[in-house]
Structure 1
Amino acid sequence: MPAIWGLDLKELQWGKFKGSYMFNRVYHLRRTKMIVYQAAMILCVVSESVGTAMLSDYVDQQDGISTRSHGQAQVQNNDIIGIASFNIVVGIAVATIFGAGFFFDLFWPERIETKAVRLSWKISAVAVSIIALVDALALTVIVATHRAYIIGVPPEYARTLVDKNGPPNLIYRKNAMSVTSPVLLWLGVVATFSSTYIMWRSHQHDDQFGPWSAEYKDEETI
């Protein structure tokens, strides 16, 4: 079988997704990594998905109200659209780093990496964790304290346009998806920082003792 970056492609086997292999005790912190890496990926990606639906609704709101008013009214909601767009980038970044970490540890747990590669893993994990935290803070503040505004028409006409156009709510915190996205993201932030910590600990152990767990080594020596 061919190899890419020194990784034997014959190790790409569906059987490795079985719980008995994925959560075995052969490798140090394996169970923990398999859980927290997936948690970071799933929570951030689901937050991103909910945020994308929210983003689409607020973009449609701009178009709908502008069309109904024949271009007179404009919806000022670029703050929620902007942070939702950034949340998509964050979700992709977290999934890329910890998704790669998950699959590399699943298929090639005994791989040998250079110091530069190890450092890249660590820097990337810290970077996406900080970015995710910034994203969560910004999204939370915007949802909790901001709202959309309609300009270009009298307030009474603006209310009529909103009623005719329908959801989403101009007040972001009253939109279920606007609230759900940051809640999921905060859980993802916790999982992301946990994943970073576990990755650093795992690398430290691997550099000193190799990838195998102490429990497995004890069994081998019996």
Structure 2
Amino acid sequence: MAPVIFGLPFSEFTWSKFGNANMWNNVYHLRRTKFIVYQLAMIFCVVSESLGTDALSRFVSQQKYIESHGGPGASEYNNDYVGVASYNIFAGIYVATIFGGAFFFDLIWPERHEDHGVRLGWKLSAIAGIFIHLASCIAMTVIVATKNAYVTGLSTADGNRLVMENGKTPLDYRHSARIVTSVVFGWIGWIFVIASTVILVVGKTHDEKVGPWSTHVREAKKNNIDVESNFVSGHASEKPLTNPLTGEQPEALHPNRPEAAHVHEPTRVQEASAETSNHHSFDSSAPPVNPAHV
């Protein structure tokens, strides 16, 4: 028997939950909208984080190269970008954790029970994500637009020569395509973080008041429509609830339908044969007629 952890039955964790029929149905409130917007927020933020991390590693590698080839005291100052890129990594991971978790739990356990405190925690965490990622976007934009790395302990000519030899990344942050793209993707991701937060807050409020189902599913449940076993192509069927043991419909759910009238087909009368129906038939018992006597 599959375990139940924190009220979540692991028996419901099946590969079919990741199929299109389950992921994109409209049984649950805002299900399609959630999954699209959540994924866009995660994708843009993670791409921004990844590009920034790549640029960060290039600066660290270039700094080591200058220190090893430039002699004593030679180094590269890039602490401002390294610091803000590190914070951008944290912001991207935070967004992916919050909305990735919301995506996963809504996909596998959409009808799970959550206390008011848990729902409040989801809302506050999502709202915090707006400000965490906004701070990252602002800091990245300011530093990339106004700052640059530089070589210390060497003349300008020697420093530029070592940078060119290493060829990892330019000292001016604005001239790095990776860094600029990281900033742009960060702002786009922040827009989708706001949208995801609004959807999450609205969804949690809806779940707490009327449950996780869409309006048409709630109406179907009120009319005793078995939307769970009779769900076809995203819409509830017209089949009423059935007895799970016998498969019969309960009498209470049967509308008073008149019985179909029995139509009696008329009985066919076999037609008489040609010999019996013909009154002018030839009598074989009569004596033959001589034509000469006629």
TM-score, scaled to structure 1: 0.96
Equivalent residue number for residue 174 of structure 1: 175
Tell me: higher relative CO, structure 1 or 2? Use CA pairs within 8 A at least 6 residues apart.
1
Letter aligned with residue 179 of structure 1: V
1:18-167 matches, within 5 Å, as 18-167=19-168
SS in 2 for 1:199: helix
Q: Could you tell me how far apart the structure 1 residues matched to 2:70 and 2:14 are? A: 58
Q: Could you tell me how far apart the structure 1 residues matched to 2:179 and 2:20 are? A: 35
Partner deviation per Cα, 1:183-217 (whole Å, 9 max, x = no partner): 11111111111111001101111111111011223
Q: Give structure 1 regions of 4+ aligned residues with deviation exceeding 2 angstroms.
A: 215-222
> Deviation of residue 40 (structure 1)?
1.4
Equivalent residue number for residue 194 of structure 1: 195
> Deviation of residue 13 (structure 1)?
1.2
Equivalent residue number for residue 257 of structure 2: none
Q: Could you tell me how far apart the structure 2 residues matched to 1:202 and 1:87 are? A: 28
> Deviation of residue 61 (structure 1)?
1.2
Letter aligned with residue 30 of structure 1: R
Letter aligned with residue 109 of structure 1: P
Letter aligned with residue 107 of structure 1: I
Please provide the CA RMSD for this pair: 1.3
Q: Could you tell me how far apart the structure 2 residues matched to 1:159 and 1:145 are? A: 20
Q: Could you tell me how far apart the structure 2 residues matched to 1:124 and 1:151 are? A: 42
Structure 1 gaps, min length 5: none
| Count of matched residue pairs | 222
Letter aligned with residue 183 of structure 1: V
Q: Could you tell me how far apart the structure 2 residues matched to 1:76 and 1:20 are? A: 53
> Deviation of residue 134 (structure 1)?
0.6
Stretch of structure 1 that moved more, 4-13 or 42-51: 42-51
Q: Could you tell me how far apart the structure 2 residues matched to 1:60 and 1:18 are? A: 43
Letter aligned with residue 181 of structure 1: S
Indicate the structure (1 or 2) with the bigger Cα radius of gyration: 2
SS in 2 for 1:24: coil
Letter aligned with residue 75 of structure 2: Q
> Deviation of residue 7 (structure 1)?
0.5
Q: Could you tell me how far apart the structure 2 residues matched to 1:13 and 1:194 are? A: 29
Q: Could you tell me how far apart the structure 2 residues matched to 1:200 and 1:65 are? A: 50
Q: Could you tell me how far apart the structure 2 residues matched to 1:91 and 1:136 are? A: 11
Equivalent residue number for residue 279 of structure 2: none
Q: Could you tell me how far apart the structure 1 residues matched to 2:9 and 2:153 are? A: 63
Q: Could you tell me how far apart the structure 2 residues matched to 1:194 and 1:30 are? A: 14
Percent of residue pairs bearing the same amino acid type: 49
Structure 2 gaps, min length 5: 224-237, 239-294
> Deviation of residue 219 (structure 1)?
4.4
Q: Could you tell me how far apart the structure 2 residues matched to 1:215 and 1:76 are? A: 61
Q: Could you tell me how far apart the structure 1 residues matched to 2:12 and 2:198 are? A: 27
Q: Could you tell me how far apart the structure 2 residues matched to 1:219 and 1:176 are? A: 54
Letter aligned with residue 146 of structure 1: K
TM-score, scaled to structure 2: 0.73
Task: Check the 8 A contact 1:25/1:215 in 2, yes or no.
Answer: no
Q: Could you tell me how far apart the structure 1 residues matched to 2:21 and 2:72 are? A: 61
Stretch of structure 1 that moved more, 160-169 or 21-30: 160-169
Q: Could you tell me how far apart the structure 2 residues matched to 1:116 and 1:51 are? A: 36
Q: Could you tell me how far apart the structure 2 residues matched to 1:71 and 1:212 are? A: 68
Letter aligned with residue 126 of structure 1: I
Q: Which structure's residues are more often helix, by fraction?
A: 1
Q: Could you tell me how far apart the structure 1 residues matched to 2:197 and 2:28 are? A: 18
